[in-house]
Chains A and B, each alone.
Chain A
Amino acid sequence: MTLLQRRNLRRLGWLRAAAPIALVLAAVGCDAAARQADVYRVQQGIWKAIRDVRTARLDTAGADSTKLLGLRQQFIDAIEQVSPSAWTPGEGGARTQEQRRLLAIVSQAEIQAATLAMEAGRPDLALERCRALGRAAEGDTSVTRRMDILVSGSLKQMGRYDESIDVMKAMMVRYPPRAPDSTGVEDFVLGLPNVIIDLRRTLGDQEGARRELADAERYYNGLILAGGLDPRLEAQVRSHLVQTYLEQNKTAAANAGLDSLETLAIAYPELKQLTPEVRYRRAKLQASQGGDPAQAIAALERVAFDFPMSPAAVPALLDAALLKERSNRLPEALEAYQAILSRYPARRDYAATALLRQGMVEERLGNWAASKRTLESVPGLYPRTAAAAQAPITIAEHYARVGDRQGIQAALRRAVDAYTEMIEADSLAPSVVQLRWNKFRALAGLEEADAAFGVIESMVANHPTSPLTGQALLEGIKIADRKGLTSVSRGFLARFVQDFPNSPKADEARRRLRSVSK
């Protein structure tokens, strides 16, 4: 063998050794590139879907539910570019960085899809997908938190309020609240007890709301007792706790809570922004304890004057105005409500209440024409607020007070129309139970029994566990009895006994049901 041949053979030997290594490297490289390409395709699909959503939102014609569901499908198609196994952890149980990245992208798309489904009135479509992704993302709390929020929201929109509340309560256990970042925005988990309480109140379940308040107190106290909280988080927890005490009229505990908050604000300069809130709550506490309302009014107005940009400014002004109204300082109260409306029109809930109260004060000042105009404008200006639900009934109540029978009839008729419109505008909102209850009251006032019974049936079908439904059934029984409609009365009694077995009126209803069934 010549030297050249030997050298060539040696080169071939190197090649033989290098070839498998090169093949393995190429395969690994290709595999990684293929996975990255998958992620890229998902991102591409999501981007296109987001652009189409933006175009649809800018379209003056708006997007109907078919269009919204079509847009949702684009997000689903983008997600389904990759198999869920792509983000499933391996045998070790931990996800790779690439898998975490993909999961974050997919969850963002799922949020968009779920939001569109809910907007299209199909929360059922969002529910199952969010539950499935939540299960698949087990271990990645940034994803499971978001999925749980969507599950709870979907259940709420579907009218499954108790299940929605159960999910929220599970979240409170599962996700310890996080300390705020530099923006100071609090973790949504911390506000969940308030969401639950508000939901119970919106559903007309005052007893349930009281129970939830007690639970909230336990939850916030538990967080404080566990210790080790970041000072900013501790301040947020204590602030919620004070609010909970105030709503339960536990003034001594609320005062002690405010003292702790003040101590925190003094100890940590970065918590200086707590000052307006502490001062507002102190003033509110002072007002709730009786005594000279003028002092409480001055303290509340001082908060709004000293900290006009603080979130506490508007509630302070509103509370001051309400105190003036209660103290019969009506012209001053009127001015205060008008000031809230002109200075803080974007704070919708407060502005709606201010407008409603303005109408009521105008009535008390004897200016019914202005009062009527104001009250009639509330549902149009602030739809889906408690004030909007209250305004039509307030007008009818005025006519009842002055004994104007024709006025009552006309006002009740307008109230029925207004409630029908509000219910149709958002038939899945939790506040609809209150609107249906008000509509029932207006129809009962008009003595339109059949229409009133129709409303009771829709309440039974849509809000079977709401205390307002129970109340409507009891009122319906009275109307049916007056009209001699025994079968209707028996039907309502049976429904009441079945749906509200623990109500204080249940025993009496059972007795009556037995007697009418004989």
Chain B
Amino acid sequence: MRPWQCMMDALRSFTWRSYVPLLPILIAQLLYLVLALNLGQAWGMATAGAIGRWAVGPSAINYPASLEILPLTSSYVETWTFLIGGAFALPLLAAAVRMTLPGGEMAAEERSARLRVAYPATFLALGAAFAVTLGWQDIVVRFLPRTLASFLGQPFQVSLVTWTISVLVGYAIITAVVYVPIAALDRRAGLGGTLRTGLQLGLRYFWKTYPLFLLLSLPALALQLVAQLGGSLLLVRTRPENAAYVLFAYAVLSSVATYFAWNMATRIHHAAGGNRS
């Protein structure tokens, strides 16, 4: 089965039941945005305000600065919720998808045993991927704009190309660890073995997964682009709160893209002969 078909099957097979593991992550992210929109209330200031202040500094509790930096603070919240929640949600999602595929069924006890290894393995893999991504973004922010400025001139073009390169490499890093929770469900193995197999699968299926992963994430990426590069424009030309509404939509689309990406990856691995108990 071609990867494209796997993606189409993933899109066709959406069920709320299989999406449920990702729901708490989405709720946490939306809840943060709701709190950040309500810094004028004590409960908003005590929660989202405190997070913003801790992450960015005292300017995070000023209006409209709090909404100007919301794409940044919400990206921190997204990273942490995905790291902690994703460690549980992604293996559960992969298991739920696998159960619907021919030959993918497994006994409840076996499933539980494999999931117990999958959780820490996914946590470590995601943690490592985020650390590498952050390091990469740091390099990009430090050196790339200066180099690009001499070729492109226009500041917006420089920001756009920097953002694009940053996103492309970031997604490539995540693609490398996509298969860790899926590999954990293949057979009972130790943590190290699971991580190694997951990374090997990630590299083996990289070119089958990466372009489709990007394609599925395009709607979310478009909104991320608006929120991160057009934040000041939204602030000045429209209401500052619109930045938060864009992030609401981004969080939903990003969660849906995550669901389809792991669903598709599980199917790609299954089609290649993996996932057989």
Contact = CB atoms under 8 A, between A and B. Distances in A.
Interface of A: 29-30, 33-34, 36-37, 39-41, 43-44, 47
Nearest to A81: B40
B61 A36 contact: yes
Nearest to B50: A33
Interface stretch (B41-49, B124-132, B268-276): B41-49
A503 to B, nearest CB: 58
Interface string B41-71: 1111110011000000000011110100000
Contact of A37 (B42, B62, B64): B42
B63 A37 contact: no
Contact of A33 (B49, B62, B66, B240): B49
A47 B238 CA distance: 12
A36 B58 CA distance: 11
B45 A36 contact: yes
Contacts, number: 41
Given A43-B62, A43-B63, A37 B240 contact: no
A30 B61 CA distance: 15
Contact of B42 (A33, A43, A44, A47): A33
Contacts of A37: 39-42, 44-45, 49
Going nearest first, the 6 A-B pairs with the smallest beta carbon separation are A33-B46, A43-B63, A34-B42, A41-B40, A33-B45, A37-B45
Contacts of B50: 33
27 contacts: A29-B46, A30-B46, A33-B42, A33-B43, A33-B46, A33-B49, A36-B39, A36-B49, A36-B61, A37-B39, A37-B40, A37-B41, A37-B42, A37-B44, A37-B45, A39-B61, A40-B49, A40-B62, A40-B63, A40-B66, A41-B40, A43-B64, A44-B40, A44-B64, A47-B63, A47-B64, A47-B240
A166 to B, nearest CB: 38
Contacts of A39: 61
Nearest to B42: A34
Contacts of B41: 37
Nearest to B41: A37
Contacts of A41: 40
Nearest to B65: A43
Tell which of B39, B41, B61, B63 has the most Cβ of chain A within 10 Å: B63
Contacts of A30: 42, 46
Contacts of A36: 39, 45, 49, 61
Given A36-B61, A40-B49, A44-B63, 16 more contacts: A30-B46, A33-B45, A33-B46, A33-B49, A33-B50, A36-B39, A36-B45, A36-B49, A37-B39, A37-B40, A37-B44, A40-B40, A40-B62, A40-B63, A43-B63, A44-B40
